[in-house]
Amino acid sequence: MKRDFNQMFPDEREKYEAEGNLKQAQYIMLRILKIVSTILDDNNITYWLIGGTLLGAIRHKGFIPWDDDMDIAILKADYDKAMKALQENLPDDLFLQTLETDKDYIIPWIKVKDNNSYLREYRPGNYHKGIFVDIFPMQYVIEDEKEVQRVRNQMNSLHALYTEIKEPFYKVESFKMFLKNIIRLVIKICTFPVVLMGKKRINRMIRNSCDKRSKKVEDKESGKLDYYIGSLYFTNRVDTETIFPLKKLPFEDFEFCVPNDWHRSLVDQFGDYMQMPPESERIYHNLEIIPQLNKNKVNERK
């Protein structure tokens, strides 16, 4: 039976309105992750906090005060299962964003988005723009880090080409944007047969390319995990014993799964992670956040 998430985790964002957009957005992200983690637990899919979200759990027992995103990881082997479980169980006010569900989306990992908010990222496009939680796939990889990076670089180049083919022209606000549009126009002309394929078909090409190349560097016996090669620019090679067995720690008013050796994971990524960064480095990841859209409409793609 499908859970009633609106009863379990009611949307009470209005309570945080007086605390500002960031605090309200953090509440929305936390609600999303509570729902996502419950669905994953119900379907025996392992997940764990990563990056700044894990750092927040340890250093702040919740959000880093200036953080405007949340990240978790799951195993690549569970990715299709996770997409199916989320698609079937998410409440109507949340949207599962994948290459398959949003033809204007170009990133090969899952985002779960809130339909009643607006968040403007640095990347242009007509994709869904609600406040979100990222779900990154991690895969077992071979010992040869150089080979993994070589394949990753191939995917970076291929993905950049797909992006130029699919994405609309930039709004011309500077000469630099004008030059970028010229480059994008040339690429679109040179790849015109691909442009005619349509965005959904190009999305399938992106995913198939990612899957094909990732299999070349996959090795469960290596004891090493890294971001799925299709996640492109990120790298986070860790030993499996750093991650498993997972444990749970508090984050705000809930508990989420974290790596078994979370200390080692944070040291590897951040160094002296308990040291607060200077104010100049306390930056947001996004350009604009509107936590509440008009109640009579849902998220519009802009």
Q: How far apart are CA 23 and CA 123, in angstroms?
A: 23
* Amino acid making up residue 243: I
Q: Which residues are CB-contacts of 83 (< 8 A; sequence separation ≥ 6)?
A: 96, 98, 100, 110
Tell me the average pLDDT of the chain.
87
Average pLDDT rounded to a whole number, residues 163-174: 76
Answer whether 287's CB lies under 8 Å from 281's CB. no
Amino acid letter, residue 127? Y
> pLDDT tens across 92-142, in order?
999 999 988 998 887 778 999 999 999 887 776 788 999 999 999 999 999
pLDDT at 257: 98
pLDDT number for residue 4? 93
pTM: 0.86
State the first-to-last Cα distance of the chain, in angstroms, to the nearest integer: 36
CATH 3.30.460.40 correct for 5-140+219-290: yes
Phi, psi torsion values for 120, nearest 5 degrees: -100, 115
Nearest to 58 by CA among 270, 281, 228: 270
Structure confidence at residue 209 (pLDDT) = 82
Q: What residues contact 156, with CB distance under 8 A and at least 6 apart?
A: 232, 233
| Segment among 57-71, 92-106, 138-152, 157-171 with least mean pLDDT | 157-171
Q: How confident is the model at residue 233 (pLDDT cuts 50, 70, 90)?
A: low
Which candidate, 115, 141, 111, places its Cα nearest to that of 123? 111
